[in-house]
Copies of this chain bind each other. A is one copy, B any other.
Amino acid sequence: MLPALFTRMIAVLFGREGRSLHLRAAGGATIVLVVVMLCGSWAVVAVEEGAHRANLTSYPRALWWSIETATTVGYGDFYPVTVWGRVVAAIVMVVGITTYGMVTAALATWFVGREQRRGGTWHHLREETAALHERFDRIERMLTGKRDGD
C-alpha cells in the first residue's frame, strides 16, 4: 500500500495529473521540508560533535530538535552551539516557515477558487451573459417578425 501511495504522490507532484500550481508547490515544499529535517538532524549531530556544552548528541534527539525548530516552537531543551550547527538550524527554520506559508497560501487559493465557483464572480458572469442572450433572442424575434410582416 505504501509503495502505491508513494507512486501516486510522485505522479501527482511531477506528472501531468496534478496540474494546479498551488497543490504542487505545497506538496513539493512539504517533501523538501521532510528531507531538510532528516538531513539537518544528521548534519547537526555531525557538526556539533565534541563541542563544549553541545546538547544535540544523538540522531533521535536531533530529529526531535528539527521538529520543534521547523514548527518554530523552540522549547530550548536542545539547540546548536557551533557556527555550522546554527547555519543548519537557520536552514531548517527558513524551510519550515516557507513550507508553512506555502500550505497557508495553497489553502487560501483552494478556498477562493471554491467561493468563486459557488456564488462569486463566475456565477454572476453566467447570470449577466444569460441576460445578454435573452436580448439576442428578442432582437432575432424582431428581425424574424419583420420579415414575416413583409
Interface, chain A (partner B; CB < 8 A): 19-22, 25, 60, 64, 67-69, 71-77, 79, 81, 83, 86, 89-90, 93-94, 97-98, 100-118, 120-122, 124-126, 128-129, 131-133, 135-136, 138-140, 142-144, 146-147, 149
Determine whether the beta carbon of B79 is less than 8 Å from that of A79: no
Among A83, A104, A114: residue with most chain B CB under 10 A:
A104
State A56–B102 Cα separation when bound (angstroms): 33
Secondary structure class of chain A's binding surface, majority of residues: helix
Determine whether the beta carbon of B72 is less than 8 Å from that of A111: no
Chain B residues, CB < 8 A from A112: 108-109, 112-113, 115
Chain B residues, CB < 8 A from A135: 133, 136
Determine whether the beta carbon of A108 is less than 8 Å from that of B115: no
Chain B residues, CB < 8 A from A113: 112, 115, 120
Among A64, A126, A149: residue with most chain B CB under 10 A:
A64
Determine whether the beta carbon of B79 is less than 8 Å from that of A67: no
- Tell me, rounded to whole Å, the shortest Cβ–Cβ distance linking A108 to chain B: 4
State A69–B138 Cα separation when bound (angstroms): 65
State A129–B133 Cα separation when bound (angstroms): 11
State A104–B109 Cα separation when bound (angstroms): 11
Chain B residues, CB < 8 A from A115: 20-22, 109, 112-113
Determine whether the beta carbon of B100 is less than 8 Å from that of A103: no
